[in-house]
Structure 1
């Protein structure tokens, strides 16, 4: 065991630092520019949201919506995934594979229309930046040695900033690095259960981010049997409006398949599930213990245990109340120490002031669309 911990410790130290520091003055400036853009409502067509609305540093780099509303206030079909450590992902989208760079992925919420998240167009983006040239000309000049605004520079800066949203500073990782006191006895029991053949959690949630299959040949997009709605031909499928990979491939073999999420900081990112339909970690554990979720009422009533593509590793198991508490305690040990507030400070004053949130000192007035 000591040899294993030493090996993992070495790998851990290679992966750290927890924060990706800038390697040059221009890169440092680019990260600063990205932070401004990330928090600026100018990047949305209606001026009513920023990237930080959906990916709030105060809420685990996600939000508390089950399904985040689109730019017009209508709920979308997916829960917002946390941005923490996404710079180290191999696939960036929950239900659409093939997007394996941050730059490709950032284009979708900014310019995409299914759903319309920011609703931006390139001409409007450049116009907004030009109108705020007193703010952005110095930032672009420092970042790119040119005051010229362009969409590619915006995407580059946003991607550079997202790479700083990274941390493995958790009790669990400190334990792996050799600090046996980093986990308490209950959490150690939970870790043993997590890795056990009985529960098989680590078969899918492996690696440093706990988001990759232990067997490298296993898929990273899987169905967990969250739904099992019986259709006319007797197949058990996910809701027709949100079918995972099948929404893009239109193949039933992809129905209900979503990217395996990272469990780092999982206790801070409620609600859970691809659609935010799971309200507690205990509920999720019960879902896996049952081998799939059974819904008895409503339009999504069905038996997820019978779902067409449910991963064969998801089988029933029994847990005592004590074991369930230990497993939840282990999941809570995956919580990161908060990233430095200064590095992720919102430079703009709040568009709608909240009682429990203070503006940063000397914040800039927020952008408002002229009526």
Structure 2
């Protein structure tokens, strides 16, 4: 799965005296040029390996399209549709944790534990499937089906949450504005469509994007060293595209047993539970690395609490490599450059008030 941690770094230490001996002031511009040339080469190599900046968001000019985004934003924070009235999408996707929840496995309705770690929904629109097992085809599909998740919203069928929304003054009009061509706009399908429209706006560009755009100073020397190893060792074979992952499936534990390495309680069959095909045993979606420094604990079961350890685990179970602290530190530094600020829109609107009791 997390095959991106392919690291083998050779470090050379030279004394400061040796660096400076015999150099006059005319030598320093040449050094700066060499450093700039290496950064430019790194940018070129990163792009050639398939890494890409986040796309620009097009403006939303159509009134009904904007109404869908606004409705989706409102629904994202709506907890009244859950069976205990406490769980909303934002329950597991929090702004200060890069739209994750900081738990090994998410806690949903009535305190039930979800089977896997909650992935960030920032930049999730760039991924070809949703969920660790790829059992949701799109953001819209995921949002709709979460209403029936036993440990998510816990509803027995779609009629229950839709009846709840119909009983809240303001939602009927909001759905009608967002889906003006629908005879019956307030439906579970449109719940998913609205939340999907909102989540597709949640991109988080950062320093890495500036670097790919040509700002050679956007990444530090250590971060650039980490990126160089990421590219040269083939990490981008799986972690590519603007999300640095999320576009393919991969077996977890190619060389060694992941479950043994992390002392995980029980193996997860992964995609095999979805396809019923033994070839998919222990296969998971390759996770996107955007904001990975803020989305621990790591892996589908949240079994590893910190990123340096996650780097070393992946190198060992996917490649059979034992990394040093320094080797993992450089790649971790690069991964931190993938952090972007939470979009301003990722915040709740004033909720529609509930209908007065008895009405």
TM-score (norm 1): 0.74
CA-atom RMSD in angstroms: 3.1
Q: Structure 1 residue 283 and structure 2 residue 317: aligned?
A: no
In the alignment, is residue 86 of structure 1 matched against residue 124 of structure 2? yes
Return closer, same or farther for 1:38/1:324 CA change in 2, 3 Å cut-off: same
Q: For 1:227 and 1:318, how far apart are their aligned partners in 2?
A: 14
Q: Distance in 2 between matches of 1:93 and 1:187?
A: 29
User: Please, which of 347, 350, 354 is the counterpart of residue 345 of structure 1?
Assistant: 347
Q: Kindly tell me: are residues 274 and 171 of structure 1, through their superposed partners in 2, closer, same or farther at Cα, counting changes over 3 Å?
A: same
In structure 2, relative to structure 1, the CA distance for the partners of 1:228 and 1:30 (3 Å cut) is: closer
Question: Structure 2 unaligned runs (5+)?
Answer: 1-37
Greater radius of gyration (CA) = 2
Instruction: Show CA shifts across 1:197-238 (max 9, x none).
Output: 3xx42222122211067xxxxx52321356346xxxxxxxx8
| 1:122 maps to which of 149, 152, 158 | 158
Structure 1 stretches lacking a partner, 5+ long:
214-218, 230-237, 293-313, 349-362
Question: Partner of 1:36 in structure 2?
Answer: 74
SS of the aligned residue for 2:111 comes to coil
Counterpart of 1:140? Answer: 175
Partner Cα distance (1:277, 1:53) in 2: 21
1:227 to 254, 258, 279: 258
The verdict on how the C-alpha distance between 1:50 and 1:165 changes in structure 2, with shifts beyond 3 A counting, is same
- Map 1:1-371; keep pairs closer than 5 Å: 2=40, 5=43, 8=47, 16-17=55-56, 19=57, 21-97=59-135, 99-113=136-150, 116-120=151-155, 121-133=157-169, 135-145=170-180, 148-167=185-204, 169-197=205-233, 200-211=234-245, 220-224=249-253, 227-228=258-259, 242-289=268-315, 291-292=316-317, 314-340=318-344, 343-348=345-350
Counterpart-to-counterpart distance in 2, 1:186 and 1:240:
37
Instruction: Give, in whole Å, the separation in 1 of the partners of 2:125 and 2:133.
Output: 18
CA contact (8 A) 1:195 1:202 kept: yes
Contact 2:208–2:219 under 8 Å retained in 1: yes
Deviation at 1:241, TM superposition (A): 6.3
CA distance 1:261–1:20, shift in 2 (3 Å): farther
Determine if contact 1:103/1:159 at 8 Å carries over to the other structure: yes
C-alpha distance after superposition, 1:274-328 (max 9, x if no partner): 0111111111112133x22xxxxxxxxxxxxxxxxxxxxx223354433322211
Instruction: Give the paired residue count.
Output: 311
Deviation at 1:259, TM superposition (A): 0.4
Which of 119-128 and 263-272 deviates more?
Answer: 119-128
**Is the deviation greater in 318-327 or in 264-273?**
318-327
Cα 1:367–1:88 change in 2 (3 A) is: farther
Q: Deviations over 1:90-110 (max 9, x none)?
A: 11121145x433222222211
Deviations 1:34-88 (A, max 9, x none): 1111101122122111011011122211101111123231322200011011112
TM-score of the pair, normalised by structure 2: 0.77
Higher RCO (Cα < 8 Å, 6 or more apart): 2
* Cα distance in structure 2, aligned partners of 1:62 and 1:12: 23
Displaced runs of 4+ in structure 1, greater than 6 A?
366-370
Q: Distance in 1 between matches of 2:41 and 2:134?
A: 39
Structure 1 CA distance for aligned equivalents of residues 356 and 221 of structure 2: 53
Distance 1:172 1:5 in 2: 10
